[in-house]
Amino acid sequence: MINEHDCVVLTQDLPNEKLKAGDIGTVVHPHQGGAGYEVEFMTLAGETVAVATPLPSQVRSIAGATLLTCANWRLGHLRTGDFNQWRDGIARRLA
């Protein structure tokens, strides 16, 4: 069950919202016990890219073993400083 404030991954493109499969968002409101979700998609800088209402078949919960890779990101949404800050944070955690 996906709950409010859970992170989810799109499993399908949502072209009307300019979102791609693999984009990650946060559930801000589950509808009717999981019949759909209001999901906010943001940049690493905290800027909202879109708020969408995907169906349950269009999202999946982020499992504990899900890895975030640059392939999941549309780097056009990131400024260079945002990416560098993210990369440096990962490097510190791995050190």
Which domains are assigned to the chain? 7-94 (2.30.30)
Distance of alpha carbon 67 from alpha carbon 21, whole angstroms: 15
Q: What is the pLDDT of residue 55?
A: 93
Tokens 């999202």 locate to 59
Q: What is the pLDDT of residue 38?
A: 95
Lowest mean pLDDT among 46-50, 54-58, 77-81: 77-81
Q: What is the pLDDT of residue 53?
A: 94
